Structure 1
Amino acid sequence: MTSTTETTATAAAPGRRLPVTDLSLVVLVGATGSGKSTFAHKHFKRTEVVSSDFCRGLVADDENDQSASGDAFDVLHYIVGKRLAAGRLTVVDATNVQTESRRQLVRLGREHDVLPIAIVLDLPEDVCAARNATRPDRAGMPGHVIARHRRELRRSLRGLEREGFRKVHVLRSPEEVDSAEIVLERRYNDLRHLTGPFDIIGDIHGCSLELETLLRKLGYDNGAHPEGRTAVFVGDLVDRGPDSPGVLRRVMGMVAAGNALCVPGNHENKLGRYLKGRAVQHTHGLAETIEQLEKEDARDPAFREQVREFIDGLVSHYVLDEGKLVVCHAGLPEKYHGRTSGRVRSHALYGDTTGETDEFGLPVRYPWAEDYRGRAAVVYGHTPVPNTSWINNTICLDTGAVFGGRMTALRWPERELVDVPAEKVWYEPARPLVTEAPGGREGRPLDLADVSGRRIVETRHMARIGVREENAAAALEVMSRFAVDPRLLAYLPPTMAPTATSREEGYLEYPAEAFAQYRADGISRVVCEEKHMGSRAVALVCRDADAARERFGVDGPTGALHTRTGRPFFDDEAVTEEILQRLRTAVGAAGLWDQLDTDWLLLDGELMPWSLKASGLLRSQYAAVGAASGAVLPKAGAALEAAVARGVAVADLHTRQLERATDAAAFTDAYRRYCWTTDGLDGVRLAPFQVLACRGRSLAAVAHDEQLAWLDRLVEHDPTGLLQVTRRLVVDTGDEESVRAGVDWWLEMTGRGGEGMVVKPLQALAKDGRGRLVQPGIKVRGREYLRIIYGPEYTRPQNLERLRQRFLNHKRSLALREYALGLEALDRLADGEPLWRVHEAVFAVLALESEPVDPRL
């Protein structure tokens, strides 16, 4: 933009206001004794000023030790660099009369993409000498030093602009210095004070019909929104389409009326150079725009000049909404946000390329969005994609309207996408639109950088979810050593929140609290599903090896069967394939391949028995406790009984020991229910309770009664006996009789030794009255099952009272975050996004599992 690059090199009149950009490198220039330090401390914060004298004192304990100047300026440049990197206004207080000293400072400004500004104190030699004479540390300074400084300053004065200073302010008398006023100016790209709401509109390319349709859909009437929303255009308004002048008139009018903001695209940049008479190639749609403008000249001769001025005034990018939002054309890494330089403008207009070209002769763009970790959401366009989605808090809105795709807008802060279809293919693209996530490369291998370090994952149902670096490292250890092939790891189920702690006598958990929570969330109907005595299992079943190869890129396996932490259930791949084959047969016989129009299914379920996967835990922990209590407590009880018979006063102790023996026996009975002998697949059971996804569709929002009906058919058509039905009961949370029936069902089931039940909203993907996700399931575990978790004697009144002080908020938060990530993984999988995008959300679930939380909850 012209106004950001104009240079002022005029003498300041008394009382003159000196504009200084709020993020800039201010270089004070003047001979010794000219009053630079006094000026700096009068107009700037003490912390903003970096003085060469101070740095000299740091390294030599003497601010006047000229022999330490080399080290002192090393320190000065280091401090200046750190301040500029942090985005802080920095003032350099040194003579800076030599070209080389200024060159290093200008270079620092360019490295950090801030404007260098010179304030020159060009005071007479006698004034400088008189001031030095009053300072004890300068009284003995030779007179020729000031004369030399003055000569060097005079030689430099006219060339400061050429050295790279964007503004030069010259003060030539003590009166001018004393009366000058520093005025901090906001950067042109800094619109943090504007908080919206905004409607950010992607690349238009002369498609005026589609633009008008989209504006109407967004609620605009003749360019204005009745609710005061502001449109923000990401550039590429012109070229290729049928009516670039019409688009320009609409956008220019909205900007002039204060109803819109606009950043330039590379096509506006090229058109602007053409309108200034520069030599540019009439390619990539510019020829069509020139022809349209020539026709417009006859109707409105002033229009061409208005367009030139409009383009000339566009700012490379905007920082909006308190710094939460950045809008540009081609994307912008965080280090460039709010910065001003040619490099920043170039990246905002064109992005960055790898230096390679694809098979269509077009440059391969560097996938900057994959590496983005910034806190501000970056909304951009430039590279057309058929479907847009969030990547690391960035989103591309160019969905190829001019190529027959769609024109897309993003409502902010709602993060809602709105689009309209193209009227037709207005321009044949050089490269066909392909299913490629913006910033990504279709089919590229999974990469360590996809999951390492601190991460922010955008989800559609809970906005941004953060993953700490240490949690990612823990998950990476598990994934790299134990997990199934990550290409087959399409989903990890979330942890499940327990019901609120019960005050029912003798119980820690009770169904009434689960029903009450859903009633409070506005959920009227829930389904109670029995909790199976096994381990959570996810099954990816492909119709054949070709289907597995086409979607998941594996050669050989026809799917996967893994735990909730991504580990394979069986070390023997042949056993896994046998289970997949049985599932495949049942799916085919039940007609689900055809009904769901798919060649793969993702199932959530429970694999039994528990001992199949947890045999080591059973032996080392539960069986050891049972064996020890069985060996010790009967003998202790017998000894105490004999003592009582002899008249020893140990009756109370004897009673307590009998109670301990009873509790220990109950503990042993409880965990033994989860163990039975298996031989190969004989004795193994799989109870599926949800179909998660299939080709082109996430099924996570399908109501649970419909889900369970599909799975009943699956069990019915399994000739091998592998699959097991999940029993269920529907409860109306507002009906006391229905709630009582649900409680009785749970009591009957757990009384027979069952683990308990999971209560879920009947309509999946449920939200409360404020639009927030509610828990997808609340587990209510049986009284005897909890003996395994909390110990044999947990039902003692004093122990129960202590356990009722458990804290559930972190567990509930974790369950919801993992649920949102799981939904995101399913959506990305169904949308056909690259597997690295799916895996990003999957890996985040595993990373969150390393957050510290009571494992008994």
Structure 2
Amino acid sequence: MTTTTDSTGTLPRRELPVTDLSLVVLIGATGSGKSTFAREHFKPTEIVSSDFCRGLVADDENDQSASGDAFDVLHYIVGKRLAAGRLTVVDATSVQSESRRQLVQLARQHDVLPIAIVLDLPEAVCAERNALRPDRAGMDPRVIRRHQRELRRSLRGLEREGFRKVHILRSAAEVESARVVLERRYNDLRHLTGPFDIVGDIHGCSSELETLLGKLGYVDGVHPEGRTAVFVGDLVDRGPDSPGVLRRVMSMVASQNALCVPGNHENKLGRYLKGRKVQHTHGLAETIEQLDREDAFDPAFRDQVAQFIEGLVSHYVLDGGKLVVCHAGLPEKYHGRTSGRVRSHALYGDTTGETDEFGLPVRYPWAEDYRGRAAVVYGHTPVPNTSWINNTICLDTGAVFGGKMTALRWPERELVDVPAEQVWYEPARPLLTDAPGSREGRPLDLADVHGRRVVETRHLARIGVREENAAAALEVMSRFAVDPRLLPYLPPTMAPTATSKEEGYLEHPVEAFAQYRADGVARVVCEEKHMGSRAVVLVCRDAAAARERFGVDGPSGTIYTRTGRPFFDDENVIEEILDRLRTAVAAAGLWAELDTDWLLLDAELMPWSLKASGLLRSQYAAVGAASAAVFPAATRVLESAVKRGIAVDGLLATQRERAADAAAFTTAYRRYCWPTDGLDGVRLAPFQILASRGRSLAAEPHDVQLGWLDRLVEHDSTGLLQITRRLIVATGEEDSVRAGVDWWLEMTGRGGEGMVVKPLQALVRDGKGRLVQPGIKVRGREYLRIIYGPEYTRPDQLERLRHRFLNHKRSLALREYALGLEALDRLADGEPLWRVHEAVFAVLALESEPVDPRL
């Protein structure tokens, strides 16, 4: 606590430092002004009052008989707030050590600091204030006296009880002049956004450290582009030059070019330098010997090292909470928390309680269970090669044991390493074959998708999934979907264009062009909408590439529908299509150009009857057959009646119109059906490359995308691949818009399904920063006859259909689009399967939302 003066120099001001995430306990006798103090210095939502809780359970804040239940409620609320990481203030007398004990335990349980603010005011002041309160005017003076006695008895022991800070105000003037100052936790560096270069365990290998820093671009410890180095600890022991490493790191930290967290080896060295008794094992003896030699040249260096180690913080939360750096790993519940338990885990990790054949503790594979949003970068357990495991990565690659020294560039997520110059220290245990818990993340778990979900996306913030929708998606995914390892993406639904005002049309391109013009999109690409079924194709260069990246043994990819079901039951058919496709990819040079051994494509597989034969038979063909059987006979009867002079001319005209509409309906759906024999007659029209190794390509401009795909089709010698025709339209130019309309009219007039209008630049935001629809479908007049029925073009029916409710469908399209982008970004970042599937599963779940299926 500090004391300052105001501008006049006369009034003392008391500053009370309070950690921004802590449990503040106000302590004082009744009438000491705790509630008033709380209201003046804290938010109303931060205060949990015993009087208020007493009123909740007894309708009377002064009913002391309800105190037991009231404090049960108070402790419950406090626990919930602390679990959520919120500053909490307890307004109760808390003058007895027994009443404070449970509050201190709650703070420890949630790894936050308990802080005491004591209002130790004179008895007369408390009595005077109580007399002014109608609900306490008749209070026995002995109550205040007892509170004062109990308070004074325990004042000196508050720190021993566990309070990390104790602020005592002894007069009304001190209370009046006090000011609470919120302090950022030492580990909270969210305001630092990098970029960072995070360096794994060094263990005295100063030469390798200098080589690595040089490779990262540092000159004399400074990066010319302003990057910041972050060291994960274990700077010392075992290696040849721990003092050299310490000098470099200490200098970089002092000049604010680096951050450093402590490792267990620094912790042990720090205890030794304080004169504590520690065993000189695991390399400490070598460090002590090196420091002894250093004393001859720089006697102050040892004290500088001790001071440096003393000031190290257990872990750091960086980059807006997206990154956590510590030495031995840290579960999400400990991020940003402050307690001995958190520090212990950050320094040593956790063990299973077992020892291996080398007599060393078996580390608990906490990374396998990690589900946090922040990436956790750590070291401590040496591995020969590192990889991402559930958004965590271990950077200790055993430099001192003859391995290599590794750094991670953040946010690029690029690994940079240099080899060890020699084996400096023989390990007690050979390097593990993989990082701890390094199987492909953790298997998919019911808890990952069950119940109501909220998925964080980079392009549309938080997207909620209803519990009932999640249940429906789980049914489909568990029973019908392809191998989840080969299901990294599901395509979104597509928004229809606004309802047309053109006579005879329900949908027309003019509205789509107008919408994009209003969104500030100057150029769009109109892509032919193929007459088939949506298909996602994952094609790997070979089975070995599929095994290495996706962990499957056998298939070299897959083809699945927009609900994740396999497109073909026969795996041989799938492999034959994939083989033809990969041959074309190789011939087009795309493996090399995109630097990848796998591609994920969005495509249309034709004919429609290939996948929708059941729908054709049960719904469309049945309507066509019934019409063909009924209308000719009905028309003949009416024609005969007219010849006999019966006045049914109007009815005859109506039946002829209905027969013509039915014939048009049959003609419309038959255009999408043709016979196939094996793969003869099958066509695949890819229109977007979604992802390749290490890259999401969904935001690449569509003209670039279509250029790649044109080459792909050109180099297909089997006749499988079909080109996607397109036309670029300037939404603000009348002639260009007219050309787009004419192109659509010509295409749909020949029986084409229609087109999809997309922003040429793919991923676009409007002037207010809102995500713009990635595509708007404009379906042809005759194709819509299949969707809305044979007679939908009649004026009365068209008028009724113009009152379509499109907002929900458009919202759904944007949400699914954002989830798809998120899945692709996570896939590109090498995140584990459960993280990718969180977004994929949410797309499938949103498909269960009630929306007009005709839209």
Q: Normalised by the shorter chain, which TM-score bucket? A: 0.7 to 0.9
Tell me the amino acid that sits aligned with residue 200 of structure 2.
Answer: D
* Alignment correspondent of 1:662: 660
Distance change >3 Å, CA 31–CA 537, structure 1 → 2: closer
Q: 1: CA distance between counterparts of 2:139 and 2:35?
A: 18
Distance 1:512 1:35 in 2: 66
Aligned to 1:118: 116
RMSD: 5.6
Structure 1 234/726 Cα, relative in aligned 2: closer, same or farther at 3 Å?
same
SS in 2 for 1:416: coil
State the Cα distance separating 1:74 from its structure 2 match: 2.3
Report the CA distance between 1:714 and its aligned residue: 5.9
- SS of the residue 2:196 aligns to: strand
Partner of 2:530: 531
CA offset at residue 535 of structure 1? 5.6
Identify if the C-alpha distance between structure 1 residues 197 and 541 changes in structure 2 by more than 3 Å, giving closer, same or farther: closer
- Contact kept? 1:502, 1:513, Cα under 8 Å: no
Q: SS at the partner of 1:183?
A: strand
Distance (whole Å) between structure 1 residues aligned to residue 486 and residue 539 of structure 2: 7
Preserved CA contact (<8 Å) 2:272 2:278: yes
After TM superposition, list the pairs within 5 Å mapping 1:71-220 onto structure 2. 71-122=69-120, 148-172=146-170, 174=171, 178=175, 181-189=178-186, 191=188, 194=191, 196-199=193-196, 201-203=198-200, 205=202
| Pairing 1:307-346 to 2, within 5 Å after superposition | 307-319=305-317, 327-346=325-344
Does residue 567 (structure 1) correspond to residue 565 (structure 2)? The answer is yes
2:723 matched to 1:724?
no
One-letter amino acid matched to 1:305: D
Residue 305 of structure 2 aligns to which amino acid in structure 1? V
Q: Deviations over 1:481-505 (max 9, x none)?
A: 2223434545545556678988988
1:577 aligns with 2:576: no
Q: Separation in 1 of the partners of 2:76 and 2:826?
A: 44
The aligned residue for residue 68 of structure 2 is: 70
Equivalent residue, structure 2, for 1:424: 420
User: What residue in structure 1 maps to residue 844 of structure 2?
Assistant: 846
Partner of 2:5: none
- Alignment-derived partner of residue 672 in structure 2: 674
3-state DSSP of counterpart to 2:474? helix
User: Does the aligned pair in 1 maintain the 2:49–2:91 contact within 8 Å?
Assistant: yes
SS at match of 1:422: strand
Deviations 1:829-854 (A, max 9, x none): xx7x7655665554454345445666
Equivalences for residues 276-295 of structure 1 within 5 A: 276-282=274-280, 286=284, 289-295=287-293
Aligned with 1:300: secondary structure?
A: coil
Measure, in 2, the Cα distance between the counterparts of 1:324 and 1:563.
34
Q: 1:651 to 1:313 in 2, by over 3 A?
A: farther
SS at match of 2:413: strand
State whether structure 2 residue 404 is matched by structure 1 residue 408: no
Report the Cα distance in structure 2 between the residues aligned to 1:715 and 1:823, rounded to whole angstroms: 30
Give the secondary-structure state (helix, strand or coil) at the position aligned to 1:617.
helix
Matches for 1:39-58 after TM superposition, within 5 Å: 40=38, 44=42, 48-58=46-56
Shift in Å, 1:27: 2.9
Match of 2:682 among 680, 685, 700: 685
Deviation at 1:164, TM superposition (A): 0.9
Task: Report Cα offsets for 1:435-494 as digits up to 9, x if no partner.
Answer: 66x8753485433234445667789x9697856354544322211122234345455455
Report what 1:268 is aligned to. Answer: 266
TM-score relative to the length of structure 2: 0.75
Cα distance, 1:134 vs structure 2:
7.4
**Post-superposition offset of 1:312:** 1.6
Residue 107 (structure 1) shift: 1.1
Q: How does 1:515-664 map to 2 (within 5 A)?
A: 531-534=530-533, 536=535, 538=537, 561-569=559-567, 576-580=570-574, 582-583=576-577, 606-627=604-625, 629-630=627-628, 658-664=656-662
C-alpha distance in 2 between matches for 1:581 and 1:791:
38
Q: Which amino acid aligns with 1:662?
A: A
Match of 1:300 among 285, 298, 301: 298
CA offsets 1:591-612 (integer angstroms, 9 cap, x no match): 9699969999877655554334
1:665 deviation in Å?
1.3
Structure 1, residues 663-696: CA drift from partner, whole Å, max 9, x if none? 32111111123345678x4877353748979997
Q: For each residue in 1:204-240, what CA deviation from the matched residue of structure 2 results, as whole angstroms up to 9, or x when unmatched?
A: 5256566667767777665556776665555444456
Is the 2:404–2:419 contact (alpha carbons within 8 Å) kept by the matching residues of 1? yes
Deviations 1:61-95 (A, max 9, x none): 55554443333332332333334334444443444
Unaligned runs of 5+ in 2: 3-10
**Residues 483, 149 of structure 1: alpha-carbon distance in 2 compared, 3 angstrom cutoff:** same
Question: Which residue of 1 is the match for residue 6 of structure 2?
Answer: none
Query: 3-state DSSP class of the match of 2:802?
Result: helix
- Using the TM superposition, name which of 291-300 and 353-362 deviates more: 353-362
Q: Which residue of 1 aligns with 2:363?
A: 364
Following the alignment from structure 2 to structure 1, what is the Cα–Cα distance between the partners of residues 176 and 581?
Answer: 86
Any residues of structure 2 matched to 1:456-467 within 5 Å, and which? 466=463
Q: Any conservation in 2 of the 1:381–1:397 contact (CA below 8 Å)? A: yes
The answer to whether 1:27 aligns with 2:28 is no
1:512-568 C-alpha deviation (Å, 9 max, x unpaired): 9799989997989x8967725356364768978x99888766678787553232223
The amino acid that maps onto 1:398 is L
Conservation of the 8 A alpha-carbon contact between 1:113 and 1:341: yes
> What residue is the counterpart of 1:8 in the other structure?
none
Contact 1:605 1:689 in 2 (8 A): yes
C-alpha displacement of 1:363: 3.4
Letter in 2 for 1:108: L
Shift of 1:186: 0.8
1:726-745 matches, cutoff 5 A: 726-727=722-723
| Pair 705,140 (structure 1): closer, same or farther in 2 beyond 3 Å | closer
User: Which of the residues 465, 468, 474 maps onto 1:468?
Assistant: 465
Q: Name the counterpart of 1:820.
A: 821
Displacement of 1:253 after TM fit? 3.5
SS of residue paired to 2:296: helix
Task: Give me the whole-angstrom Cα distance separating, in 2, the residues matched to 1:297 and 1:469.
Answer: 66
What amino acid sits opposite 1:486 in the alignment? P
Contact 2:481 2:566 in 1 (8 A): yes
Q: Is the 8 A contact 1:55 1:63 kept in 2?
A: yes
Q: Distance in 1 between matches of 2:729 and 2:357?
A: 60
Alignment partners' CA distance in 2, 1:130 and 1:767: 67
Describe the superposition over 1:38-72 as per-residue Cα deviations: whole angstroms up to 9, x where unpaired: 65556555555444445445444555544433333
Q: Gapped runs of 5+ residues in structure 1?
A: 5-12, 717-722
Kept after mapping to 2: 8 A contact 1:211/1:407: no
CA shift for structure 1 position 341 = 1.9
Give the AA of the match of 2:821. Answer: A
Q: Pairwise mapping of residues 364-513 of structure 1 onto structure 2 (< 5 A)?
A: 364-367=363-366, 371-374=370-373, 386=385, 389=388, 391=390, 394-396=391-393, 398=395, 400=397, 402=399, 403-404=403-404, 406-410=406-410, 415-424=411-420, 430=429, 432=431, 441-442=439-440, 445-452=443-450, 466=463, 468=465, 470=467, 471-489=469-487, 492-493=490-491, 495=493, 508=507
Identify if the C-alpha distance between structure 1 residues 100 and 558 changes in structure 2 by more than 3 Å, giving closer, same or farther: same
The one-letter amino acid of 1:579's match is: V
Q: How many residues align?
A: 820
Query: 2: distance between equivalents of 1:143 and 1:826?
Result: 70
The 1-side partners of 2:599 and 2:15 are apart by: 70
CA distance in 1, matches of 2:152, 2:40: 25
1:30 Cα offset (Å):
4.1
- Cα offset for 1:732? 7.3
CA gap of 1:215–1:639, structure 2 versus 1, over 3 A, is farther
Against the structure 1 CA distance between its residues 653 and 537, is the aligned structure 2 distance closer, same or farther, given a 3 Å change threshold? farther
Q: Distance in 2 between matches of 1:232 and 1:492?
A: 37
Query: Does the residue aligned with 2:276 lie in a helix, a strand or coil?
Result: coil
| 8 Å Cα contact 1:133/1:139 also seen in 2 | yes
By how many angstroms is 1:291 displaced? 4.7
Q: Deviations over 1:150-207 (max 9, x none)?
A: 55444423322211111233445x4565555142231333757835454352435256
Residue 408 of structure 1 and its aligned partner are, at CA, apart by 1.5
